[in-house]
C-alpha cells in the first residue's frame, strides 16, 4: 500500500477544493468541542428521534431551541426540529477487488453533509425534509464510485399521516428491513440510498404490518437532478410477531430490475421473495436466523434461488469490560449451469454490503462463509471488534459476485471453490454524544479461485469521523 501522505493527497485538478478538505477535520473537532447538551443517542433514521421532552425545560440552551421550536396557529400546533450530520471518511485500497480490475491502488476521501427539518404537526402528521451534499476525491488509480458524489440533492421529503396505530408515508424516504440483508441504507457509501413511494405501517393486536411500493432514487452527480424509475422498484408486505424471547419476521418482497447482470447474461428481471427471520435474546445469548426463497423471471429464464443466514452470539463480563463472541454462518445459491434455462443465482436486492467487512468487496451471491468474531467493550464508549471471514464460492459454474451485484472479472472460468480468508479489526469510539470516530483494517488472503483468475492478496484501511447534531 502507498505511504499515508500519498494516499491522502488529492489528484491534481480535483473538483473538491483542497481548502475544503483541510476545513472538514477542523470543523468536526471544533463543533465537537462545543458539546451542546445531554440527550438520547441519535438514531440511524433521524425521523425516529423525538424531542417533545424538551418542552418541560424552563431554560433551554440555544441548541435545545434548535431541536425543539414549538409553534401554534389557529389551525394546527406542533414543533420544528433541525438537525444534520457531517462525515469525513478515508478509504485506502491495495489491490482492490484482488487486483482483477483496472483501479487497484489508492485512496478515496469522502465528505458528506446532511441537514434536515422535522415538522411535527401535533400527533397526527409530520413533514420531514432532508438535503444532502456528497463530495469525493481520490488518489492513485482508484476512482470515485457512482454512489460517492452528488453536489446537492433532496435526499428525503415525505409526509406522514397517523391515526392511532396506523401511519401512511408518502414521498422520498429511506427504509430498511430487519437485519438490512435485503433492504439497507448503503451507509458505507457516501450517498445513502433513498426511494420514492409509499409505505403503510399498521399495528394490529400486537403484530406490526408494513405494506410498501418504492422506486430507488438514481444518483446523478449534479445538483438536484436525482430521480426514480419504475424499472428499478421494490414492493412487499412484512409482518413482525413478538414472542416471549423470540421475535419473528415473515415477509413477501417483489423486485423489478432492468439490465441485471449475471454470468448467464444481462437482462430484465422480475423476482419474488418469501422469507422468515427469527431473532431475539435470552440470558447472555442472542440470535438472528433468516431463510428466503426466490422465484420469477430473468430474460427467458426462470428464477429459482435461495439463501440462509445465521448470527449467534454470547455475552459475558469481566474486569476488563464486556465481551461478545459470535459466529456467523451464511449461504446463498449460485447458478449451477448458465445454459439450462434457469437462473439460480440469489439476488440480495438492496443490501448493506458492509456486513461482511468495511471494504464491502463481496456481494452475498453464490457463496457460503464462516465468520467468527469477538467484540470487546473496553469502556462504555469504545468497542474493539476482531473477526475472520472465510469465504467460498458455492457453484463452480458461476462467478464470485462483488459490490454492485456484478460478477468479478475472470472468476466465472476460474477453477476452485475457496475465494479468500480475511482477518479484520475495527475500533469505534464515541467521543461524545455528537462525535463518533472509527478505524478499521482488513487483509484478504487470496484463495484458489482468485489465484486461478490471476488475482492476488488485497488490503483495505478505513478512517472515519462523523459529527451529528
CA distance 203 to 71: 30
Confidence bin at 162 (pLDDT 50/70/90): very high
Domains of the chain in start order, with CATH, are: 4-468 (2.40.160.100)
Indicate the average pLDDT of the chain. 90
Please check the confidence at residue 22 and state whether its pLDDT lies above 50: no
Check residue 347 and give its pLDDT.
Answer: 97
List pLDDT tens digits, range 359-400.
999 999 999 999 999 999 987 789 999 999 999 999 999 999
Helix (H) or strand (E) holding 21: helix 18-33
Between 349-358, 384-393, 459-468, the lowest mean confidence (pLDDT) is in: 349-358
Please check the confidence at residue 10 and state whether its pLDDT lies above 70: no
Helix (H) or strand (E) holding 240: strand 227-242
- Closest of 104, 190, 107 to residue 155, by C-alpha: 190
List pLDDT tens digits, range 310-337.
999 999 987 778 899 999 999 999 999 9
CA distance 227 to 153: 10
Please check the confidence at residue 140 and state whether its pLDDT lies above 90: no
Check residue 24 and give its pLDDT.
Answer: 55
Please check the confidence at residue 118 and state whether its pLDDT lies above 90: yes
pTM of the predicted structure, to 2 decimals:
0.90
Please check the confidence at residue 4 and state whether its pLDDT lies above 60: no
Q: Which residues pair with 83 in a beta bridge?
A: 116
Confidence bin at 230 (pLDDT 50/70/90): confident
Buried b (16+ CB within 10 A) or exposed e, 44-71: eebbebebeebeeeeebeebbebbbbee
Number of H helices, E strands in the chain: 4, 22
Report the percent of the chain where pLDDT is more than 70: 92
Q: How far is CA 48 from the centre of its chain?
A: 17
Report which of residues 201 and 229 the model is more confident about. Answer: 201
Amino acid at each position: 500500500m502507498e505511504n499515508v501522505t500519498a494516499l491522502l493527497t488529492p489528484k491534481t485538478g480535483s473538483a473538491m477544493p483542497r481548502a475544503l478538505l483541510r476545513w472538514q477535520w477542523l470543523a468536526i473537532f471544533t463543533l465537537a468541542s462545543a458539546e451542546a447538551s445531554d440527550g438520547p443517542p441519535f438514531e440511524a433514521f433521524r425521523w425516529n428521534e423525538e424531542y417533545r421532552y424538551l418542552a418541560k425545560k424552563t431554560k433551554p440552551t440555544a441548541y435545545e431551541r434548535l431541536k425543539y421550536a414549538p409553534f401554534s396557529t389557529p389551525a394546527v400546533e406542533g414543533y420544528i426540529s433541525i438537525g444534520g450530520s457531517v462525515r469525513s471518511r478515508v478509504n485506502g485500497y491495495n489491490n482492490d477487488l484482488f487486483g482483477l480490475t483496472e483501479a487497484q491502488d489508492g485512496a478515496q476521501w469522502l465528505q458528506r453533509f446532511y441537514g434536515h427539518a422535522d415538522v411535527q404537526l401535533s400527533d397526527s402528521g409530520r413533514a420531514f425534509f432532508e438535503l444532502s451534499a456528497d463530495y469525493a476525491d481520490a488518489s492513485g488509480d482508484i476512482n470515485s464510485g457512482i454512489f460517492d458524489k452528488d453536489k446537492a440533492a433532496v435526499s428525503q421529503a415525505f409526509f406522514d399521516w397517523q391515526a392511532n396505530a396506523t401511519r401512511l408515508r408518502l414521498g422520498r424516504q429511506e427504509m430498511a428491513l430487519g437485519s438490512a440483508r435485503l433492504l439497507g441504507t448503503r451507509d458505507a457509501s457516501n450517498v445513502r440510498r433513498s426511494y420514492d413511494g409509499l409505505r403503510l405501517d399498521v399495528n394490529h393486536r400486537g403484530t406490526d404490518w408494513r405494506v410498501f411500493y418504492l422506486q430507488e432514487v438514481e444518483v446523478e452527480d449534479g445538483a438536484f437532478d436525482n430521480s426514480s424509475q419504475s424499472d428499478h422498484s421494490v414492493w412487499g408486505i412484512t409482518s413482525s410477531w413478538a414472542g416471549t424471547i423470540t421475535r419473528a419476521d415473515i415477509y413477501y418482497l417483489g423486485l423489478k430490475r432492468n439490465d441485471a447482470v449475471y454470468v448467464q447474461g444481462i437482462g430484465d428481471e422480475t423476482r419474488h421473495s418469501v422469507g422468515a427471520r427469527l431473532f431475539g435474546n435470552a440470558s447472555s445469548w442472542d440470535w438472528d436466523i433468516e431463510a428466503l426463497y426466490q422465484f420469477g423471471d430473468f430474460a427467458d429464464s426462470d428464477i429459482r434461488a435461495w439463501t440462509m443466514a445465521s448470527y449467534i452470539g454470547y455475552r459475558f463480563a469481566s474486569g476488563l469490560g464486556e465481551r461478545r463472541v459470535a459466529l456467523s454462518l451464511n449461504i446463498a445459491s449460485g447458478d449451477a449451469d448458465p445454459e439450462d434455462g434457469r437462473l439460480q443465482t440469489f439476488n440480495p436486492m438492496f443490501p448493506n454490503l458492509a456486513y461482511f467487512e468495511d471494504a464491502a468487496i463481496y456481494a452475498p451471491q453464490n457463496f457460503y462463509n464462516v465468520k467468527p468474531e469477538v467484540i470487546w467493550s473496553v469502556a462504555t464508549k469504545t468497542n474493539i471488534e476482531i473477526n475472520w471471514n472465510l469465504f467460498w464460492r458455492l457453484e463452480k459454474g458461476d462467478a464470485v459476485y462483488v459490490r454492485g451485484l456484478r460478477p468479478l472479472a475472470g472468476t466465472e472460468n476460474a477453477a476452485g471453490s475457496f475465494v479468500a480468508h480475511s482477518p479484520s479489526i475495527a475500533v469505534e469510539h464515541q467521543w461524545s454524544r455528537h462525535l463518533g470516530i472509527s478505524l478499521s483494517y482488513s487483509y484478504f488472503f487470496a484463495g484458489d479461485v482468485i489465484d486461478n483468475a490471476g488475482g492476488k492478496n488485497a488490503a483495505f484501511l478505513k478512517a472515519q469521523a462523523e459529527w451529528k447534531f
